[in-house]
Chains A and B, each alone.
Chain A
Amino acid sequence: MSEAKPPIESSPSPAVRVAPSPHLSDAMSTQRMMLDVAIALIPAMIVAVLVFRWYAVVQVGLCVLVCLATEAAVCWLQRKPCSVGDYSALITGLILGLSLPWNAPWYIAVIGSLAAIGLGKAVFGGLGFNLFNPAMVGRAFVMLSFARHLGAPAYRDAGAELEILTQATPLSIAKQLAADLAAGKVGIDQLQVHLQSAQDYWNLATGWINGSLGETSAVALLIGGLYLCWRRVAAWQIPAGIILATLVFVELGYWTGLTLFGPLEHVLAGSLLFGAFFIATDPVTSPLTAKGRFVFGLGIGLTVVVLRLLSGYPEGFMFAVLLMNATVPLINRWTIPRPLGGPPPEKE
């Protein structure tokens, strides 16, 4: 409490504007979200370069370049302001590049990127309107068009100079062994010997295995993924749902003898962690509510397990994501939350 001073002379009015409330905003913009994904991918990219050397640099670099160029070209064609600056094409390029095998020919990366941005995003109306994850649309396009270069045998090159690249991926090994076992080519007693290299937890954690470029190291993916969840860029319910469903359904499959890998191996091997944290969490193509995201995660996990255990493919993450993407509008409609205290009564 103090005495008032007499008012000072009237002040000149600066230009003030009017706008609807609120007048403040937090620090998280769309650009910043995309940049956070790029930051979170750094550990996985480092491992990719360590394991696959130049192959990783060329493959990812090519995808990023073509994605950015396609984005710019599409904007130019549509007479829209250039949206390369929102970094979403950068993320699409990174994820597509990291999901390809090391020895896919250069045109795979180029065509995949064109399809990702063009078919995956631009035809729907650009960022925010696409139904399916653009990187996965691009990958599915090249996978179906050039099966020879992306199928399980494509990861392996007996003549490669790096020893890792001569081996099959862990999931391929498991799948092949199961087939051989059924055909009687391998005896039960020899099983452990063959499985041992594929089951080495140390290699699965550090990424010292063959596979798609970005998917090999569980530790690198967990570091990046947990960072994304902490920043709330990725909704934790999605990876939680995926991992939970994978553990449960693989356990069921393991009991019934459908797979030689246990639940933990299925989570650590293949693209499950990469996909759970970086692909399925794409905000545009995942549900809006916490409950919806968990359901979405469970659905992906179940589909992955079904594809891995029952289909001819050793891996099924890409198809699982695309399939569940299609259900997102439905999930959103089913999971409209009840307002606090229940819906207000309708006034006539």
Chain B
Amino acid sequence: MNILTERFPHKKTTFSRGVHPTDCKQLAAETAIEVLPAPPEVRIPLHQHLGAPCKVVVKPRAEVAVGDVLGEAGGFVSAPVHSSISGTTVRLSKVTLPNGRHVGAVPISAADEQPLSGRDLWDDVYGGEWPRDGLDHYAPETIVAAAQSAGLVGLGGAAFPTHVKLVRNEEKPIDTLLLNGCECEPYLTADYRLMVEAPDAVVTGALVAQRAIGASRVIICVEDNKPKAITTLRTAAAGTDVQVRALGTKYPQGGEKQLLSAALKRTVPGGGLPLDVGVVVVNVATAASLARAVVRGKPLTHRIVSVSGAGVREPKNLLAPIGISYRELIDHCGGLRQDAVRIVAGGPMMGFTLGSLDVPVTKGTSGITVLSQAEVRSREQTNCVRCGRCVDVCPMRLVPTRLALAARSGNADLARSYYPMACMECGSCAYACPSGLPLVQLIRLAKVLVH
């Protein structure tokens, strides 16, 4: 920790550069989480995570209960998938996920009777009592195994298998566990509602993860535009070692490298991981699901999805079963408004647009943002005026305009000299571009060129 934060512990830190989009969280922030009733059908994709796809282990027309394994992990960096409702499997089908990947999926048609619904389901997932003491009897290996068999992946969006992060590595000891509660994407409120409504699950998850990795301290990082979450977490964490730290609101603070720089002033080496500087970063919802997996022995079957934006009639936060279609969520929120022009899987800065609503919710679906004409970026594309605003805001300190130029001219050598692979596609550059250039898209092109 540097001298500033030591001397002024209440000074709010943040990373350098980045942008300040209007957060628009008020649309759904104070809407309590609703538990969705089980839909008539879910389709569970077999590849919802980073890593190898799953191998299907159920036959068509098999009876499955909530939590039954449908697909086994296809390797160490992979995660099994489970049934999120009780019902009967249908023949394997293909679905197209928002990121454009075509993957196999197991459709399940729901049984008439579901074991849990409404309040009971909430109490089973994130509600109810969470132990603080006695977590010591879980051995680190037990926790990792529980995370692995629960199919736990990062719920912040990237969907990296969680057990891989939790395994201890003798060569790279971990001293700090950071819980990522920044939710820096505008509009999204799923993590916020979780922190407000189930802070105990988050804190227990933090303690369990700390035990697995052997970190000496745990910090839950929350941006200061969520004062209520900070208060509830501090109350829940009272009496434990877990610290709750407010960070100055800025996008993209939830990026792992930015979070490390904001909270700890540590810099992850290029191409490296937080692990390389002794840190593990876990999203708050992932931590809560880890607590569920370890303490209650339940796999990842449900997640909180926020449905927001001016293009949807009643923005809400929903506890949804994995595999439910986007259409059901939108319908549950009153449907689309007539001026809806863009449906985004995730937040508006990094999310993918959808051409169809018949897409299943996956483990990585943090929200659905429906933007109206007034909100959407619709600047006419003009020549680059080389103003350097993209350079000023890039949190990775790249030169987006030059990468875009290299991509447009198909010059791989030029592209290489501006390090396209360091780009995490946060979108700050295109957000700030006065000429309306599709910089992120062009940088993706530059990445392909360099490969």
Contact = CB atoms under 8 A, between A and B. Distances in A.
Given A338-B397, A340-B395, A11 B440 contact: no
Contact of A23 (B349, B382, B436): B349
B427 interface: yes
Given A22-B427, A289-B391, A339-B397, A30 B434 contact: yes
Nearest to B312: A11
Contacts, number: 213
Interface in B331-385: 331-332, 334-344, 348-355, 357, 369, 371, 375-377, 379, 382-385
Nearest to A22: B427
Given A17-B341, A340-B422, A342-B270, A284 B119 contact: no
A168 interface: no
B389 interface: yes
A338 B397 CA distance: 7
Interface string A5-21: 01111111111111111
Given A1-B32, A337-B397, A22 B268 contact: no
A26 B270 contact: no
Nearest to B425: A21
B337 A21 contact: no
A340 B267 contact: yes
B32, B271, B386, B438 interface centre (most CB from chain A within 10 Å): B386
B98 to A, nearest CB: 10
B337, B353, B441 interface centre (most CB from chain A within 10 Å): B353
A159 interface: no
B431 A341 contact: no
B82 interface: no
A30 B376 CA distance: 18
Interface stretch (A51-59, A62-70, A124-132, A313-321): A124-132
A24 B186 contact: yes
B377 A25 contact: yes
B331 A1 contact: no
B444 to A, nearest CB: 8
A33 interface: yes
B388 A345 contact: no
B402 A288 contact: yes
A22 to B, nearest CB: 3
B336 A344 contact: no
Interface size class of B (residues with CB under 8 A): 35 or more
Nearest to A4: B34
Interface in B187-206: 197
A336 B418 contact: yes
B122 interface: yes
A235 B271 CA distance: 31
Interface size class of A (residues with CB under 8 A): 35 or more
A28 interface: yes
Contacts of A10: 327, 331, 335
Given A18-B354, A340-B267, A343-B422, A284 B386 contact: yes
A33 B34 CA distance: 45
B175 interface: no
B419 interface: yes
A21, A33, A86, A290 interface centre (most CB from chain B within 10 Å): A21
Contacts of A14: 336-341
A32 interface: yes
Contacts of A340: 257, 261, 267-268, 270, 395-397, 422
Contacts of B402: 288, 332, 336
B272 interface: yes
B21 interface: yes
B417 A344 contact: no
B68 interface: no
A232 B438 contact: no
Contact of A21 (B331, B382, B427): B427
Contacts of B63: none
A25 B342 contact: no
A29 B385 CA distance: 11
Nearest to B35: A4
Nearest to B328: A7
A17 B378 CA distance: 12
Contacts of A105: none
Nearest to B372: A14
A38 to B, nearest CB: 15
B127 interface: yes
Given A13-B336, A14-B336, A336-B418, A22 B343 contact: no
A25 B431 contact: yes
A22 B429 CA distance: 9
Given A4-B118, A22-B350, A86-B382, A283 B388 contact: yes
A287 interface: yes
A7 to B, nearest CB: 5
Given A20-B440, A23-B344, A288-B401, A283 B387 contact: yes
Contact of A128 (B261, B337, B386): B386
A161 interface: no
A26 B127 contact: no
Given A17-B353, A127-B383, A343-B419, 16 more contacts: A11-B330, A14-B338, A23-B342, A23-B375, A24-B349, A25-B377, A32-B434, A128-B385, A128-B435, A283-B388, A336-B417, A339-B398, A340-B267, A340-B396, A340-B397, A341-B257
- The 4 A-B residue pairs with the shortest CB-CB distance, nearest first, are A11-B335, A22-B427, A344-B271, A128-B383
Interface of B: 19, 21, 32-37, 118-119, 122, 127, 186, 197, 257, 261, 267-272, 327-328, 330-332, 334-344, 348-355, 357, 369, 371, 375-377, 379, 382-389, 391-392, 395-399, 401-402, 417-419, 421-422, 425, 427-428, 430-436, 438, 440-441, 444, 451
Interface of A: 1-4, 6-26, 28-30, 32-33, 86, 126-129, 232, 235, 283-284, 286-290, 293, 332, 336-345, 347
15 contacts: A4-B35, A8-B331, A16-B343, A17-B342, A19-B342, A20-B438, A21-B348, A22-B427, A23-B349, A24-B348, A30-B435, A283-B385, A283-B388, A340-B396, A340-B422
